[in-house]
Amino acid sequence: MKNCTATKAVRGTLLAAAALLVAGTTSTQAAPEDSRTGDWLFLSVTKGDARSSDTRGTLLLCDPPQGHGKAAEACAELEAVDGDIAALPPKDTYCPMIYTPVTAHARGQWNGRPVDYAATFSNGCVMAGRTGSVFALDSPGSLGR
C-alpha cells in the first residue's frame, strides 16, 4: 500500500511540474509578439524590373531604432511625417538620368495604423531623394546614389 501511495504522490508532483513548465513556456513564447507592438516596418528594395530577384529587406524597429545602418535617421524622418512615407519631403539632389529601376516596399504599422507603401523609382538616387534614409538598406553607392 505504501508503494502505491508513493507512486501517486510522485506522479502528482511530476504532473504539477509539467504544468508549470508548459505555463512558463507559453509566457516566454508570447514575448516576441509583444516586441512588434510599437512602430515597425518591413522594408524591401528590389533592383530591376518586376521579374527581378535582386531584393534586399530588413525589419525597421523604432523603439529603440534598429534594423539597418541608418535606423535612427529613418525613424526620425518617419516620425516627422507620422509614418507616411509618401509625405517625406524630397531632398534637393541631382541624380543621373540613367534608367535602372528600383522598387521600394514597406509594410507594417505606425502609431497603431497599418502602413503599406510601394513605389518604383527610375534609379536608386531618385529613390533616396524621395525617401531619405528609410530605404537606405545597402551601402552608399550600391543603388545608384
More confident residue, 71 or 12: 71
Answer whether CATH 3.10.310.30 is correct for domain 37-131.
no
Lowest mean pLDDT among 7-11, 33-37, 123-127: 7-11
Does residue 15 sit in helix, strand or coil? helix
Per residue in 47-85, pLDDT (tens digit) is 987 676 788 999 999 988 988 889 999 999 999 999 999
Q: Is 74 exposed, middle or buried (0-12, 13-18, 19+ CB in 10 A)?
A: buried
To the question of pTM greater than 0.85 for the whole model, the response is no
Residue 141 pLDDT > 50, yes or no?
no
| Cα distances (Å, whole numbers) of residue 34 to 19, 27, 65 | 23, 11, 16
Spell out the domain ranges in the chain.
1-34, 37-131
| Distance of alpha carbon 125 from the chain centroid | 23
Residue 10 pLDDT > 70, yes or no?
no
